[in-house]
Structure 1
Amino acid sequence: MALEQACFTSFEYDRMIVQFSMRDGAKVIPCAISTSAMDELEGAGRAASSEREAQFMRLRARIEARATVKYTAGEFEGVPAGIILRSIDFRTPR
C-alpha cells in the first residue's frame, strides 16, 4: 500500500527537525526531516524558526515523496520505528 499524507506535527528547535506523519492505511508512520535538508532543498539561506512550518508546507510534496521511497525500501530508524530524512536523502548520484 502506498503512503498517504497525514499531518505536520512540530518543529523541534533543540533537535533541528520537523516532525510529520504519513499513513499506510490505518497505520501512522512517524517521520522527521532535518532543517538543514529543508534549507538545502529550498536553496535559500537558513530559515527562521518561525518559518519552519511554512517551509515544510512549500516542500511537502518532495519531502513526502522521499519518505515514501524510504518506507518502501524498509529504511526505518529509531523507536518507535519511523522515517528520518537528511540532506543526503535528496542528493542525486553523480
Structure 2
Amino acid sequence: MTLVRGDIGGYDFNRMVVLFSMMDGATVIPCAISAAAMDDLEHVSRTAADQRERQFVRLRDRIEQCASRKFLAGEFEGNPQALFCAASIFAHRSSRPDSKRNAAACPA
C-alpha cells in the first residue's frame, strides 16, 4: 500500500527537523526530515528556523514521494524501526519486524 499525506507537526528546534506524518491505511506513520536535507533539496544554505515549515510545504511532494518509495521497499533501520531517505528522512514503523537494513538515498 502506498503511504498517503498526513499532518505537518511543525519544526522541532532541538532536533532541527520538521515533523510530519503519513498514513498507511488507518495507521499513522510519524516522520521527519532534517533542516539540512531540505536545504540540500532546495540548493540553499541555512534557511531561517522560522521559515522551515514554509520550506517543507514547498518540498512536501518530493519529500513524501521519497518516504513512500523507502516504505514500499521496506528500507528501515534502527530501533524503533525507521526509514531513511537521503540519510535525513525517516518514518518510525515498529510493527514491521521483517524490515531490511538499507540506507540508500532517494533520488530527488
How does the TM-score come out when normalised to structure 2?
0.74
- Counterpart contact for 1:19–1:33, Cα < 8 Å: yes
Aligned to 2:75: 75
List runs of 5+ in structure 2 lacking aligned partners.
90-103
Q: Which has the higher helix share?
A: 1
The amino acid that maps onto 1:47 is T
Task: Give TM-score, length-normalised by structure 1.
Answer: 0.83
Q: Name segments (4+ residues, structure 1) moved above 6 Å.
A: none
Q: CA deviation at 1:76?
A: 2.9
Aligned to 2:27: 27
Number of residue-to-residue matches in the alignment: 92
Hey, what does 1:51 align to over in structure 2? 51
Q: Could you list the per-position Cα deviations for residues 38-91 of structure 1 after superposition, in whole angstroms to 9, with x for gaps in the alignment?
A: 000001121101000000000000000000011112223456544344287345
Equivalent position of 2:6 in the other structure: 6
Contact 2:66/2:107 (8 A) holds in 1: no
**Mind listing any 5+ residue stretches in structure 1 that lack a counterpart?**
none
